[in-house]
Amino acid sequence: MKKIDFLGGVNGEVTGSSYLLTSSNDSEILIDLGMFQGDALSVKKNYEMLGFHAATLQGVFITHGHLDHCGRLPLLVYGGYRGKIYMTAPTKSFVQILLDDSARIAEKDRSKEPLYTAEEVWKTMDMIEVVDYDTEIKVGNFTAIYRDAGHILGSSSIEIKDNLDDQKIVFSGDLGNTPQNIVKPTKYIDSADIVVMESTYGDSDHPNEDPTAIIQEEINIIEKSDGVLLIPVFAIERTQEILHIINRLKEEGKVASTTQVFLDSPMAIDVTSVYMNFKEHYNEEIQSHKDIPFNFDGLEITYDPRDSKQIRNKAGAKVIIAGSGMMSGGRILHHAYNYLPLDSTRVLFVGYQAEETLGRQVLEGAKHVKIDNESVTVRANIREIKTLSSHADQQRLMKWLTHIKDVKKVFLVHGENEQREALAEKIKTDLKITDITLPNYNDSIPLT
């Protein structure tokens, strides 16, 4: 392999993941093309010129169906790419939902040009080729194999070999907090020369906590006070985990059957339907269920925005599960506006909160926040569950890397700088790998 270009998901960022791999004869493939999210400077990068010639790419490989890994794919159409985009079957379903939603939102936003339109999304979907785990894919001079990353349904780490010099590089994608409630465990990889590895929780281990007990406790509290429990969620995986847990709690009589639960996210509703189509990807525990693990008495689906607004008029205790997971958009915002000022409200964060997001501000104890340019006082009780994160913590990251033999070089990506630096030190100390790079945006680094 000749070089790798880091086009996103680096320099302390956890969004915009994208890597250009160049073989020893100058042929190129792309791994991920994610959307930048967060502050204005990050979002601005979505509108920059692509750091490669899309028309000459030999192939595009997507690790999983999260917007920060696939959200800019339609830009390939503008760039003249006409090849194949490889991903697993669940990932394809998620990509369709995410890109359609992204195009729809962009077309409604009159303040700037849409990043892409529904037509580009349709053309993008037409280029997708579904791949199976553990099966060789030959693309030009490269051979790729997808391994189950155990992060979300269909998520993958990708082994890529340059057949001209026999070098092998592994892209971790996002590694799972294995074992998880729904997906199968992370699949370990035997060997590689080079590893490009995520580091989201590279500086810490998830605490020893019982998420089911915490969710039960939070619901029981609002049942006594007729309060509101807000759960900001990511549409993919986290929503389904929460629904599965509440389903179990209701079955066991640990929360009241009459307690209202609102799934108030059109995307999460669509994604949950996708989960029902890929039961073969569930872990053994979920596959053993005879009933639907994401449905129960008292669950109300609010697809229509008018139904969403009517939730406020419902009397009694209620759990509102709404997107987005970092409170950076979506229906959680109008619920936050209505309920954050009430001391009877409880907010339960169940996923990573990136810097500069509303979720991060609330989690860190802000007493006043801005929602739609209005100041909102925060009197709600705030709590976080870290063990429901779908990202591996430090010990799981180290276990995954330790299993890979013959590693000569490691690149740490998809993590804030503090997390990357801590993981680099841990790898040097425990594994004696000294060639560790924390790449910056647009770095082009030789591999020979």
Q: How far apart are CA 448 and CA 441, in angstroms?
A: 21
Give yes or no: residues 148 and 285 share one domain. no
190: which 2 tokens?
Answer: 């035997």
Q: What is the pLDDT of residue 400?
A: 98
At 374 the three-state DSSP class reads strand
pLDDT in tens, 401-415: 999 999 999 999 999
Are 376 and 403 in a shared domain? no
Q: Which of 364, 384, 404 is the last residue of a domain?
A: 384
Q: Are residues 308 and 398 in the same domain?
A: no
Radius of gyration of the chain (CA): 22
> In percent, how much of the chain has pLDDT > 90?
85
Determine whether 160 is exposed, middle or buried from the number of CB atoms within 10 Å of its CB (0-12, 13-18, 19+). buried
How far, in Å, CA of 51 to CA of 49, rounded?
Answer: 6
Residue 223: give the domain boundaries. 211-384
Q: What is the arithmetic mean of pLDDT over 14-33?
A: 96
**Domain identity same for 7 and 140:** yes
Same domain, 144 and 250: no
Amino acid at the residue 396: R
Residue 352's pLDDT band (cuts 50, 70, 90)? confident
Residue 247 three-state SS: helix
- Domain with residue 429: its CATH number is 3.60.15.10
DSSP 282: B
pLDDT for the residue numbered 131: 98
Q: pLDDT for 86-118, tens place per residue?
A: 999 999 999 999 999 999 988 887 778 899 999
Domains identified in the chain, total number: 2
Q: What percent of the chain has pLDDT over 70?
A: 100
Q: Which two tokens stand for residue 286?
A: 């979920």
Last residue of a domain, one of 338, 355, 384: 384
d(CA 432, CA 92): 38
* Residues 378, 291 within the same domain: yes
Domain boundary among 384, 409, 437: 384
State the Cα–Cα distance between residues 263 and 235, nearest whole angstrom.
10
For residues 238 and 357, membership in a common domain is answered with: yes
Q: What pLDDT digit, counting tens, does each position of 315-339 carry?
A: 999 999 999 899 988 999 999 999 9
**Is 371 in contact with 336 (CB distance < 8 Å)?**
yes
Quick one: 65 and 127 in the same domain? yes
Residue 167 and residue 191: Cα distance in Å, rounded? 11
Could you tell me if 26 and 79 are in contact, meaning their C-beta atoms sit under 8 angstroms apart? no
Residues 224 and 331 in one domain: yes
Whether residues 379 and 394 share a domain: the answer is: no
pLDDT averaged over the chain? 95
Cα–Cα distance, 39 to 21 (Å, whole number):
28
Co-location of 230 and 363 in the same domain: yes
**Is the pLDDT confidence value at 142 over 90?**
yes
Same domain, 115 and 135: yes
Q: Please indicate, yes or no, whether the overall pTM of this predicted structure exceeds 0.75.
A: yes
